Amino acid sequence: MPDYMKTGNSHDDTDAIEKSPFKRIYWIPPNKDDQNVTAALEGAEKIRNTVLNRGEIQTDEAVENACPVATTQMAKDWQYYRRAGPLAATANDIVWRTAYTLADNAPEPNSEQFKEEASELAIPEHAEHAPKLVLDFYRYLHDKHDTDGRPVHPEELKGEAASVLALDNVYDRAFRFLDQLPWVESPARSGPAWSEATEEADATEEVATHG
């Protein structure tokens, strides 16, 4: 475990999320205080503290391997990509660069505007699962943007949004089509996984929102 992920703050308050720098996300109702919330909050705080102290975290794997879990049976990657990471990403002063974000003006998944744009993706016939997966991923992104106001990592999309169980290359192909939608900002392909929020990041978000 990297030494920078070993320390965190404990929380004794009934509604610890309200007293944290993070926003409430869909699976944490008000005044819920159990080991799952505690572990997610501890992991989110460690991510944020590390980024603010060091300026960045290079890889998701560095955090995944050190992510606190609620029970020994819980997989660290599940805890990171679906609990601690999403919670950390709601903080205003750090950015999860390897996650998808959606523009504020993104249309509803069942809207004519979305259907028209999706029809222009020219998905080949042999990519039989791609149309369904693109819709699955976009619908989930839209839902989490509306309910949580947060980005979504590809690993969460594969695990939570995909209605088709497939090999990684099938998901990767669907992601390439998802990347072409104008309201979708793709994960960064280089640089750190997490960084401090900067004016440059804000400008990128502004372009994604209005572009």
Residue ranges covered by each domain of the chain: 3-98, 101-187
What does the pLDDT look like over 171-190, one tens digit per residue?
999 999 999 999 999 999 99
How long, in residues, is the chain?
A: 211
Whole-number mean pLDDT of the chain?
87
Q: Has residue 206 got a pLDDT over 50?
A: no
More confident residue, 72 or 196: 196
Residue 41: helix, strand or coil by DSSP? helix
Write down the pTM of the prediction: 0.84
CA dihedral 152, 153, 159, 162 (to 10 degrees): 60
Residue 181 CA to residue 177 CA, distance in Å, equals 7
Residue indicated by tokens 């990471």: 85
Nearest alpha carbon to residue 185 among 81, 108, 103: 103
Please answer whether residues 183 and 101 qualify as being in contact, where contact means their C-beta atoms are separated by less than 8 angstroms: no
CB burial readout 83-113, b (16+ within 10 A) else e? bbbbbbbbbeebbbbbbbbbbeebbebeeee
Q: Please, is 19 exposed, middle or buried when counting C-beta atoms within 10 Å of its C-beta (0-12, 13-18, 19+)? A: exposed
Is the pLDDT at 31 greater than 70, yes or no? no
Which pLDDT does position 74 carry in this prediction? Answer: 87
**DSSP letter string over 167-200?**
-HHHHHHHHHHHTTSTTEEPPPSSS-SEEE--HH
CA 111 from centroid of its chain's CA atoms: 24
> How does pLDDT run across 75-103, given as a tens digit for each residue?
999 999 999 999 999 999 999 999 999 99
Radius of gyration of the chain (CA): 17
Quick one: pLDDT at residue 115? 94
Q: How far is CA 171 from the centre of its chain?
A: 16
Exposure of 26 by Cβ count < 10 A (0-12 exposed, 13-18 middle, 19+ buried)?
exposed
Give the integer Cα–Cα distance in Å for 177 and 35: 38
- Over residues 60-79, the pLDDT tens digits come to 999 998 899 988 888 999 99
